[in-house]
């Protein structure tokens, strides 16, 4: 039996590229969609936010003399491309899916309307939130947190390429120590770069837990939905008893 009734799953654009250096790997998209579909079939209501880094990243573009706002808008459109691809893959798995975009494009997707999004979820449809918040300077981490709060998700599930939050990069340092759980304040004070600081602060201020887990392990999305300790839980830890 799953632990959560409604979750917001954040998947990076790079995860959709698979072994490719950029773009979309159809087999990787299909595999991830099958895992999400497996969870959806249990009755869990799933909202998704997909990054766009596999297609375009605004920060990198600004370093090449492109205006940051223009670059970020291009990045938002990249998330729409990913959302449409993932919608197609989910529907291929038999899961009814809606793409809702913060930038209106009626011929492509529905405009984001909070109450309509909640109604889709209640009807058993997966909802993919695209185009970020429609505002530049905000990451898809922040967009995922905002949407998660708006739809009353019970948790933000951040799927990454590592199995949790470490005190330093485990891909570089062999002695990196993993936290099974950690407070929002500690993540911010130690500048642990697992999620944008603005997203972590929003979760802290609204009591929204974050689960950081490894997307590369088959079945981890289901394990996360079941409440298994598959990664690191970021939440408000109780004060120690003195």
The tens digit of pLDDT for each residue in 64-88 reads: 778 889 889 999 999 999 999 999 9
The torsion region of residue 191 among left (phi > 0), alpha (psi -120 to 50) and beta comes to left
How much of the chain, in percent, has pLDDT values that exceed 90? 81
**Which domains are seen in the chain, by residue range?**
6-235 (3.40.1160.10)
How many secondary structure helices (H) and strands (E) does the chain include? Answer: 9, 11
Residue 84: its pLDDT value, please? 98
Q: Taking residues 221-235, report their average pLDDT.
A: 95
Are 95 and 126 a contacting pair, CB within 8 Å?
yes
The tens digit of pLDDT for each residue in 24-65 reads: 999 999 999 999 999 999 999 999 999 998 987 655 666 577
Residue 25: its pLDDT value, please? 94
3-state secondary structure of 69: helix
The tens digit of pLDDT for each residue in 135-177 reads: 999 999 999 999 999 999 999 999 998 999 999 888 899 999 9
The tens digit of pLDDT for each residue in 7-18 reads: 999 999 999 998
Q: Taking residues 94-123, report their average pLDDT.
A: 98
Residues 6+ apart with CB under 8 A from 65: none
Task: Give CA–CA dist 25/33, Å, rounded.
Answer: 12
Q: Of 14-23, 94-103, 104-113, give the lowest mean pLDDT range.
A: 14-23
The tens digit of pLDDT for each residue in 195-211 reads: 999 999 999 999 999 99
Are 30 and 92 a contacting pair, CB within 8 Å?
yes
């Amino acid at each position: 039996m799953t632990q959560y009734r409604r979750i917001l799953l954040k998947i990076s654009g790079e995860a959709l590229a698979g072994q490719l250096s950029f773009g979309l790997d159809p087999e990787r998209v299909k595999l991830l969609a099958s895992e999400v579909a497996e969870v959806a079939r249990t009755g869990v209501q799933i909202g998704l936010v997909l990054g766009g880094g596999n297609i375009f990243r605004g920060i990198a573009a600004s370093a090449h003399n492109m205006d940051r706002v223009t670059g970020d808008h291009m990045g938002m459109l990249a998330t729409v491309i990913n959302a449409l691809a993932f919608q197609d893959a989910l529907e291929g798995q038999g899961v009814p899916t809606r793409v809702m975009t913060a930038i209106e494009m009626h011929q492509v997707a529905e405009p984001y309307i909070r109450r309509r999004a909640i109604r889709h979820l209640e009807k058993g449809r997966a909802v993919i939130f695209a185009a970020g918040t429609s505002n530049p300077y905000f990451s898809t981490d922040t967009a995922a947190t905002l949407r998660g709060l708006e739809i009353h998700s019970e948790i933000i599930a951040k799927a990454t390429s590592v199995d949790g939050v470490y005190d330093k990069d485990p891909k570089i340092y062999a002695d990196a120590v993993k936290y099974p759980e950690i407070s929002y304040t500690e993540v911010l004070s130690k500048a642990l770069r697992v999620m944008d600081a603005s997203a972590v602060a929003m979760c802290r201020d609204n009591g929204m837990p974050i689960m950081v887990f490894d997307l590369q392990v088959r079945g981890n999305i289901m394990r996360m939905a079941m409440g298994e300790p598959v990664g690191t839980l970021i939440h408000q830890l109780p004060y120690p008893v003195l």
